[in-house]
Amino acid sequence: MSKAKNAIVLVGFMGTGKSSVSKLLSERLGFMRVDLDDEIEKFEGRKISDIFTESGEPAFREIECKVLASILMNGERKIIATGGGAVLNPHNRDLMLTHGWVVSLTADARHIIERVRNDHSRPLLQGGVEERVNKLLEQRKHAYDFADFSVDTSRMTTEEVADCIIRQWEEHA
Ligand SMILES: Nc1ncnc2c1ncn2[C@@H]1O[C@H](COP(=O)(O)OP(=O)(O)O)[C@@H](O)[C@H]1O
Ligand SMILES: O=C(O)C1=C[C@@H](OP(=O)(O)O)[C@@H](O)[C@H](O)C1
Ligand SMILES: [Mg+2]
């Protein structure tokens, strides 16, 4: 990463640990932390699941795109945890690469399913977590390939993932 860049941007499938790892990175590096989903909820004044139910996924994606741009354009140094589908829009991918160092977190299906199984806040996984994770993972299998750096988190703790990202950032930035 060029340290001139203002953001470390975490991308990856649901349950790869973007939100959790962003907290550790923020504490360790002293950068502010922004979770795209939290910002969307603040901006809209409603939960992600309600946006999906009341307005539909295409409307959610439009809001996600606007909120991401506003976060990335603001020049303060920060760690950004994106939502798993934010990378589907090519415009979002361009913005992330232009303004940030993009880190992809991955995990195998088994670990993802274990991590998200008891959390009912993700609308895309309602009504059959295993089946939905497997189907979406297949659909999105190359969606995160554009990142600058990638970490397989399957057998790592969140602390180990944060260590790995910080090491890479300090050595190669
Ligand atoms: N490397 C990891 N090892 C074990 N559990 C993890 C790991 N990363 C995340 N988790 C757990 O998985 C769940 C989803 O993590 P979260 O950070 O919300 O992922 P994301 O934001 O990528 O969807 C949380 O309960 C979190 O504690
Ligand atoms: O993969 C997706 O399309 C989504 C991922 C979620 O974020 P996490 O990846 O943090 O779970 C959230 O943005 C929304 O439920 C849609
Ligand atoms: Mg998250």
| Mean pLDDT value across residues 165-173 | 86
The residues placing their C-beta within 5 Å of ligand 3, an ion, are 18-19
- For 21, counting Cβ atoms within 10 Å of its Cβ (0-12 exposed, 13-18 middle, 19+ buried), the class is buried
Q: How far is the CA of 75 from the centre of ligand 3 (A)?
A: 22
172 pLDDT band (50/70/90 cuts)?
Answer: low
**Whether the Cβ atoms of residue 136 and residue 83 lie closer than 8 Å to each other:** no
The predicted pLDDT at position 171 comes to 81
Q: How far is the CA of 3 from the centre of ligand 2 (A)?
A: 28
Q: Is the pLDDT of residue 72 over 60?
A: yes
Residue positions forming the annotated binding site for substrate = 37, 61, 84, 140
- Give residue 83's identity as a one-letter amino acid code: G
The predicted pLDDT at position 170 comes to 87
| Mean pLDDT value across residues 32-48 | 98
Judge if the beta carbon of residue 17 lies within 6 A of ligand 2.
no
DSSP secondary structure code for residue 122 in this structure = -
Q: Is the pLDDT of residue 168 over 90?
A: yes
SS3 state at 126: coil
Taking the CA of residue 105 as reference, the ligand 1 atom at the shortest distance is: 22
The predicted pLDDT at position 5 comes to 76
% of the chain surpassing 90 pLDDT: 91
Residue 76 and residue 37: Cα distance in Å, rounded? 19
Judge if the beta carbon of residue 124 lies within 6 A of ligand 2.
yes
Q: Token pair for residue 63?
A: 């809001």
The predicted pLDDT at position 75 comes to 80
Tell me the pLDDT tens digit for each residue of 139-158: 999 999 999 999 999 999 99
The predicted pLDDT at position 173 comes to 62
Q: Token pair for residue 2?
A: 């060029």
- Mean pLDDT taken over the chain: 95
Q: What length does the chain have? A: 173
Q: Is the pLDDT of residue 3 over 90?
A: no
CATH code: domain 7-172 is 3.40.50.300
Q: Token pair for residue 149?
A: 């750096």
Residue 29 and residue 16: Cα distance in Å, rounded? 21
107 pLDDT band (50/70/90 cuts)?
Answer: very high
Phi (first) and psi of residue 127, to 5 degrees: 80, 40
Mutational test site, ligand 2, from 122, 125, 136, max ligand atoms within 8 Å of CB? 122
1 pLDDT band (50/70/90 cuts)?
Answer: very low
